[in-house]
Structure 1
């Protein structure tokens, strides 16, 4: 196909068909978007002499997918509030440290036991440690869990992961690409990320009256232009200082959630969130080459098992340390189990550094499994909690602790 508009139209039609099929089967829509993307990606084959591969339009679809991540995280921030996040700051820092420590340690152990050299082991640990902000955000919104008490811990862990990612990528890129790294540069990157996040959170608490006046715009057109310009400028700026653009979108959403225009912004963003969010998961599927996955099956399955154990353990410890119920803690562990865009970034770093070729198919299959399994596990946390409660007898151990989560 040589016509970009036709390719984009066909892509949207395929995404719509995948959505309709998932609705009919009452199944999570995310796996359908990813799988249809894989089926028609640049690595797929011609069918009956018709080339359905999205080659010419792939860069544009990829950009639209990036917008989807921004809208997903921005909307999630709107559903939350800076006030709740700040109140839980100490428990979030502690919970985030627990989550990173457990999953990163397990990732290092997994890479070493799998026989990878040092650099490959460090990349594998990065792949298995960082959860997908986009998938987590969509699952929380779709399941209407944004008001749950454990959601602030989940958001806190996502932001904590981003600080870790900024530091870790700085170190790893130095080791993999140049063979050395600057301690001063790493420390500076971490400090910049922390200062930016704290500044945005402070803005959310102090600048609400000013933002209320700024956004008091009658024209819907001008209102949309102001909100969209803020979203892209803040997200773009955060990327320039090595904080993920998605985290910039999340932080701006948290800030604007403190204003009296929150509902109007939410209504404005909702259709963009749904449309571009669907395109993101489709574009993610386009990046996966199905023909390379076979050699990494057992390695990926083993990594998935390790990740499930690590996430469950970290979620329980983080949740209980914050005074949440066992049920809410189980929700934390399974909600953030999905892996996605950040794991692919780590795999691409391995490719740029000419590391072992198994890393990319391993990362692709590992991410695909957890991108499918994560939303399913999150949806079924009630059933999982009942099964785990029979095994570990949580309720007998938590007499007097209120059940703080229904979702």
Structure 2
């Protein structure tokens, strides 16, 4: 046999394709999430804070930098938020939400003033421009729908009497963001207030149209996607969800709001089947969302802004708790339910990062990105833990041996009509 010797340097070096590198990184991330989930279950704490810290360790400036799969993770994170809000919307009917918005508009106004003003004031105190301070006001105002929606399901609190109140506040915040983001985007490029008002009007019109469709044509939409085949049903629902979320995002309305409104629209057997099929998919992509959030933070940038971010986090955690308790009390929720509502509003997350990202991209303020990252990380972790131990932390009225004042009679529509299979909590909780 003739042996042919080739110089070693002539042989091509084996290379890992880009797709292979993405798969390797994704595999490592999922295995890390699985391990952290087991640790969290063993310790009896939420897995979300551990996922956030894992992203912090694996991001830029961390110990295990992730680069090849970052684009995939970004898309996966967006899918995670969309699925979280879709499934939350499936738990309620449009009538429930409409009644909740009517009864909680005053609480929504208090929520905006009490939580946006501290952010704006701190921005000005730090010497930032009014536009950058306005961006920080948005960061401190908006709670994390993604984190809260995930934890409500994890802690089996979707059927609690206070959950519709909490949901109403979150939806009002998202609607405010539908107006706030276009205006801020216009201000950052130096356009006129008239252009910002037009953009905000378009966004509000889209949201109003979605509400009308969800309230009047829900049966038609459900029949459109219904199928006895699990495969076809899943394909139809996911396709419609991503389409609606993408169109919402294209007109400067949150993709999460679009997914939530679609969840309200689906009803009957379709809603029941989707609630059974989607949770595993939501959990996987939801985990990627929290990891991706951590990946965007460079730990080295957090140190200079840590103390002011911590102080602002403390102030706005208190204002959020007060807002939630006040809203729950107005709806006839008992002291424990009021306390849970307030603690559940503490986490900040995806929207805050989006708002800061607009300012960073436009060069509004160099410290806005790190400050927001530190602020959100503090409240995402702390808020998750507060939600986990809400039933074990005594309400403020009991700290000095005093009893909390009795709750008012519940307002109409306070209890979700679509939640089945779970006992409704007594008004005293």
* Fold conserved between structures, TM > 0.5: yes
Which of 33, 36, 43 does residue 51 from structure 2 map onto? 33
Counterpart of 2:190 in structure 1 is 179
Q: Deviations over 1:289-344 (max 9, x none)?
A: 01111111101110111111210221122223333333323222211211111111
Q: Deviations over 1:86-135 (max 9, x none)?
A: 22231132221221121112222233344433233212211111111100
Shift of 1:264: 0.6
**Are 2:25 and 2:69, in contact at CA under 8 Å, matched by a contact in 1?**
yes
Paired with 2:314 and 2:141, the residues of 1 have a C-alpha distance of 13
Paired with 1:179 and 1:131, the residues of 2 have a C-alpha distance of 28
Counterpart of 2:11 in structure 1 is none
1:116 aligns with 2:128: yes
**Are 2:45 and 2:388, in contact at CA under 8 Å, matched by a contact in 1?**
no
The structure with the larger Rg is 2
Shift of 1:188: 3.3
CA distance 1:63–1:323, shift in 2 (3 Å): same
Shift of 1:405: 6.1
**Are 1:200 and 1:255, in contact at CA under 8 Å, matched by a contact in 2?**
no
More helix by share: 1
Farther-moved stretch of structure 1 (281-290 vs 382-391) = 382-391
Paired with 2:174 and 2:219, the residues of 1 have a C-alpha distance of 29
Which of 334, 358, 361 does residue 367 from structure 2 map onto? 358
**Are 1:15 and 1:33, in contact at CA under 8 Å, matched by a contact in 2?**
yes
CA distance 1:187–1:127, shift in 2 (3 Å): same
Shift of 1:401: 6.0
Counterpart of 2:309 in structure 1 is 300
Counterpart of 1:398 in structure 2 is 406
Q: Deviations over 1:253-281 (max 9, x none)?
A: 1111x323211111111111111111111
Shift of 1:178: 2.4
**Are 1:102 and 1:310, in contact at CA under 8 Å, matched by a contact in 2?**
yes
Paired with 1:311 and 1:372, the residues of 2 have a C-alpha distance of 15
| Cα RMSD for the two superposed structures | 2.2
Paired with 1:201 and 1:338, the residues of 2 have a C-alpha distance of 26
Paired with 2:87 and 2:236, the residues of 1 have a C-alpha distance of 16
Farther-moved stretch of structure 1 (367-376 vs 185-194) = 185-194
> What's the TM-score once normalised by structure 1's chain length?
0.90
Structure 2 unaligned blocks of 5 or more: 1-15, 411-425
Farther-moved stretch of structure 1 (307-316 vs 231-240) = 307-316
CA distance 1:216–1:129, shift in 2 (3 Å): closer
Counterpart of 1:170 in structure 2 is 182
Paired with 2:171 and 2:106, the residues of 1 have a C-alpha distance of 13
**Are 2:87 and 2:275, in contact at CA under 8 Å, matched by a contact in 1?**
yes
Correspondence 1:253-402 to 2 at 5 A: 253-256=263-266, 258-391=267-400, 393-395=402-404, 397-398=405-406
Shift of 1:251: 0.9
**Are 1:66 and 1:280, in contact at CA under 8 Å, matched by a contact in 2?**
yes
Structure 1 unaligned blocks of 5 or more: 46-51
**Are 1:208 and 1:259, in contact at CA under 8 Å, matched by a contact in 2?**
no
Paired with 2:152 and 2:324, the residues of 1 have a C-alpha distance of 16
Shift of 1:8: 1.2
CA distance 1:31–1:399, shift in 2 (3 Å): closer
Paired with 2:216 and 2:234, the residues of 1 have a C-alpha distance of 23
> What's the TM-score once normalised by structure 2's chain length?
0.86
Counterpart of 1:13 in structure 2 is 31
Which of 145, 168, 171 does residue 159 from structure 1 map onto? 171
Paired with 2:125 and 2:81, the residues of 1 have a C-alpha distance of 34
Paired with 2:408 and 2:381, the residues of 1 have a C-alpha distance of 36
